[in-house]
Structure 1
Amino acid sequence: MKKLIKNGVIVTATDTYEADVLIDHQVVMAIGHNLDEADCEIVDAKGCYIFPGGIDPHTHLDMPFGGTVTKDDFETGTVAAAFGGTTTIIDFCLTNKGEPLQKAIDRWHEKSSGKASIDYSFHLMVSEINNDVLAELPNVIEKEGITSFKVFMAYKNVFQSDDATLYRTLLEAKKLRALVMVHAENGDVIEYLVEQALAEGNTDPIYHALTRPPEIEGEATGRAAQLTQLADSQLYVVHVSCAQAAEKIIEARKKGANVYGETCPQYLVLDQTDLEKPNFEGAKYVWSPPLREKWHQDVLWQALKNGDLQTLGSDQCSFDFKGQKELGKDDFTKIPNGGPIIEDRFSILFSEGVVKGRISLNQFVDLTSTKAAKLFGLYPKKGTIAVGGDADLVIFDPNQERTISADTHHMAVDYNAFEGMTIKGEPVSVLSRGEFVVKEKQFVGKAGHGEYIKRAKHNEPYQLKKVLPTNS
């Protein structure tokens, strides 16, 4: 049945206005006033904003790491994402050296098929560049619609690639019109600092941060940006956590480089002191890059406001405190890196950003949805509210307050990194391709509704199919 959302205020990255939205055959059919209500389910959005569905460009679901596997998979993770106003995620497909890329992609399809309640796509990790990899990359783009490749500059002897691999990936991405993503930390220096800390008997969670200082992230970000300029390619720096990294991105962009930056809500509202919590509680906040001293938050907020950082990812990578984080009880290097963020990404940015006057309402939409859609080949299918685009919509009450807690969240993990934080503004109902996934704060979706999305190339629009309305 067609749906007509009435009485709401539509907000996109550029406009804010009152109008109704007509949905049919999974897409937005019309936007305006006095639309035909015949054969429609009427949805009253009075007092609410109507946002484009959130796009989370950075998730790790059902991912092996540090001898264990993330607690949230594509079923629980996408349910939590939907409650948080996210209707599309892009997850990271990990590869193994010497293994065909397609084998890794097939493995990620197996993890996700029939489980997701919202739409999803993949980034592909590139751990080595050789003739076999170069031969496969065009097929990865054309067949799988994976148009973004990730290179790690950290996690030595696990994920880390050398500079030659990064540079050759940048060159290939320029030719193929793909976007290179980078985890920018100097893994070699981190390895030395970690060995030094352990030799001195420093094993507590706080040493995860102290062995990964912000200068290490800044150096790697600057190095990646310079290699991007040398290759005349394009780069997306994930999870920017500190002033030093933000400054390198700003510097590169001023020189005309195609360098983009993402930060995450944890770096905007949490700080390094969380890692000092007693009774090993600090392990809950171990992820990479680590939390920084509080003053870095102001720099990141300003970078978001100025457009120097373009997106907000969650870096969702959840591990239980009991039984998983505890693996590093006597050695911080064995604490699985990552946190449960996917559900609260959207609302934290609204509450801490819009409500507190740090960013505008339209910037909020751009950061949580539109810019990611444009960078990763989903726009205008997703990332905006426009006729012909997917009816991925969030009906959002800006006046509702809630206190974040593991007791009420929908992730499978046993703690919440933002426990006790009160935020203003909450999704009430969420639609994915015109179907309710969350309705009046109740989950009404189903596993398998989410579709795998083959994305367009970097900076190319997603070609929409023309859909004619019917009387169904």
Structure 2
Amino acid sequence: MSTRTLVRGGLVITAAEETHADVLIEDGRIAALAAHGSAAADAWTADSTIDATGKYVIPGGVDAHTHMEMPFGGTFASDTFETGTRAAAWGGTTTIIDFAIQSKGGSLGEGLDTWHAKADGKCAIDYAFHMIMSDVNESSLKEMDRLVSGGVSSFKLFTAYPGVFLSDDGQILRAMQRAGSNGGLIMTHAENGLAIDVLVEQALARGERDPRYHGEVRHALLEAEATHRVIKLSQVAGAPLYVVHVSAQQAVAELVRARDEGLPVYGETCPQYLFLSTDNLAEPDFEGAKYVCSTPLRPAEHQAALWRGLRSNDLQVVSTDHCPFCFKGQKDLGKGDFSKIPNGMPGVENRMDLLHQAVVDGHISRRRWIEIACAAPARMFGLYPQKGTITPGADADIVVYDPAAEQVMSAATHHMNVDYSAYEGKRVTGRVETVLSRGVPVIDSREYTGHAGHGAFVPRGLGEYAH
């Protein structure tokens, strides 16, 4: 039996346009849009109507970088796929792309199966996977082709974390060449991990053990160097490149230079780099550990380059790199040794609101907000126009957003399974009111109505930017 829902009276905002329109949803998809008050819209009938008067009607957010239940340093990210996707929904995100991990010595397929076992039947919203490659060899290169045709079309490689994830330049080049032929997209975590390890060892020998030294040893120039290096490798391979969690102005400069040369090189940043800084890492009494992530937070003067990159489209996507660890019982594994603090921060619930605050603050426009949070990640990773926009035929992933509501971010009220907020006490304007995932309300007038298992695995096509 077909079900029809009408979202009436709101300002529909996509990356392309803003229109006062009613949206008709049928069987989980967007069926039609028509100007509010027009004869066409007035003629529609529906089983249920959502009044969006005075509100924005926006596409559900696409968070292209999350790590639910990720193993790290002897512990696991504290959000499960169930708790993490529920929190995402509360924050107006309706699709996540998480990272499945190939174990050293294991196959890509085994890694993917392990992550399906974690996520399938548990998610409140739709989900997809990237693949972290820990072992680049003949058999894993062959497997890449199979994964691309099976809907996992992006592969992450690290120039960081020697002995865990690090791939050498030859391995990265081989993977890029393979992606160049099969249409996949290589993503890189770009920091010079071997050099960082030297600086870590020297800092600890000097007795520099507090969280703030995490930012100092992971030098901005070592992010810039690795960014430059992977850009050149991608150029040699003739393949597109996506650099994750760009935090340093010097790394942005490398992306700008490559893009000015016409290279298919893309960059992502995250809210923590836009709104937080090394001042947070330096908070006393080990509080700085809450803000330990890699790439690290930078001095506040780097933020201007990131905002400029987002406005000029030299950075295309804002994702969260959501990888939460509790302050008590997880972050404190690194008390007395900053190098043992689990790397990662919570944020999947905060991204859409923080970026709306950036609209209020004049950093970006409303349409750019939707571009970097919804449309561009969907395009980049082969989900568009099924996700990331409001157009006939697209999945009815829709957020009714109240641009005037005020809220104070706090661990006391958030839904992420972590005992602190990176934005504790921050006042923002704008709040999610209702969230539809494929036409089904998961947040209804600030009440959670979703359930584990509603979210479906979404196989992805090739990125629109990549070929």
Aligned to 1:169: 175
Aligned to 2:162: 156
Aligned to 1:325: 331
Deviation at 1:268, TM superposition (A): 0.5
One-letter identity of the residue aligned with 1:354: V
Q: Is the 8 A contact 1:241 1:267 kept in 2?
A: yes
Distance 2:283 2:380 in 1: 38
- The gaps in structure 1 that reach 5 residues or longer are 462-472
Aligned to 2:4: 2
**Is 2:212 the partner of 1:206?**
yes
Aligned to 1:247: 253
**Is 2:279 the partner of 1:276?**
no
SS at match of 1:198: helix
Deviation at 1:278, TM superposition (A): 1.0
| TM-score normalised to structure 2 length | 0.97
Aligned to 1:464: none
Aligned to 2:417: 412
One-letter identity of the residue aligned with 1:381: Q
SS at match of 1:109: helix
Percent of aligned pairs with the same amino acid: 48
Q: Is the 8 A contact 1:127 1:165 kept in 2?
A: no
Q: Is the 8 A contact 1:72 1:318 kept in 2?
A: yes
Distance 1:70 1:308 in 2: 30
Query: What CA deviation, in whole Å up to 9, does each residue of 1:297-324 have, x standing for no partner?
Result: 1111111111110000000000000000
One-letter identity of the residue aligned with 1:158: V
Aligned to 1:16: 18
Aligned to 1:78: 85
Deviation at 1:214, TM superposition (A): 0.5
One-letter identity of the residue aligned with 2:392: V
SS at match of 1:223: helix
**Is 2:461 the partner of 1:459?**
no
**Which of the residues 254, 265, 269 maps onto 1:259?**
265
Deviation at 1:459, TM superposition (A): 2.0
**Is 2:120 the partner of 1:113?**
yes
One-letter identity of the residue aligned with 1:90: I
Aligned to 2:105: 98
**Which of the residues 170, 181, 188 maps onto 2:194?**
188
Deviation at 1:99, TM superposition (A): 0.6
SS at match of 1:115: coil
Q: Is the 8 A contact 1:27 1:389 kept in 2?
A: yes
Aligned to 1:467: none
**Which of the residues 207, 229, 232 maps onto 1:223?**
229
Distance 1:132 1:159 in 2: 18
Runs of 4 or more, structure 1, over 4 Å off, are none
Deviation at 1:331, TM superposition (A): 0.6
Q: Is the 8 A contact 1:2 1:22 kept in 2?
A: yes
One-letter identity of the residue aligned with 1:28: I
SS at match of 1:56: strand
Q: Is the 8 A contact 2:136 2:167 kept in 1?
A: no
Deviation at 1:128, TM superposition (A): 2.4
Matches within 5 A, 1:378-417: 378-417=383-422
Distance 1:381 1:273 in 2: 40
- The gaps in structure 2 that reach 5 residues or longer are none
Matches within 5 A, 1:409-448: 409-448=414-453
**Which of the residues 224, 235, 239 maps onto 1:233?**
239
Query: What CA deviation, in whole Å up to 9, does each residue of 1:95-150 have, x standing for no partner?
Result: 1122111111000000001110000000001122222112211111223x100000
**Is 2:318 the partner of 1:316?**
no
Deviates more, 1:263-272 or 1:156-165: 156-165
One-letter identity of the residue aligned with 1:440: S
Query: What CA deviation, in whole Å up to 9, does each residue of 1:370-421 have, x standing for no partner?
Result: 0011110000111110000100001001001100000000011000000010
Q: Is the 8 A contact 1:376 1:455 kept in 2?
A: yes
One-letter identity of the residue aligned with 2:105: G
Deviation at 1:210, TM superposition (A): 0.7
Distance 1:135 1:275 in 2: 42
Distance 2:464 2:136 in 1: 24
Q: How many residues align?
A: 459
**Is 2:147 the partner of 1:123?**
no
Q: Is the 8 A contact 2:264 2:465 kept in 1?
A: no
Distance 2:275 2:412 in 1: 20
Distance 1:135 1:377 in 2: 21
| TM-score normalised to structure 1 length | 0.96
Distance 1:310 1:127 in 2: 26
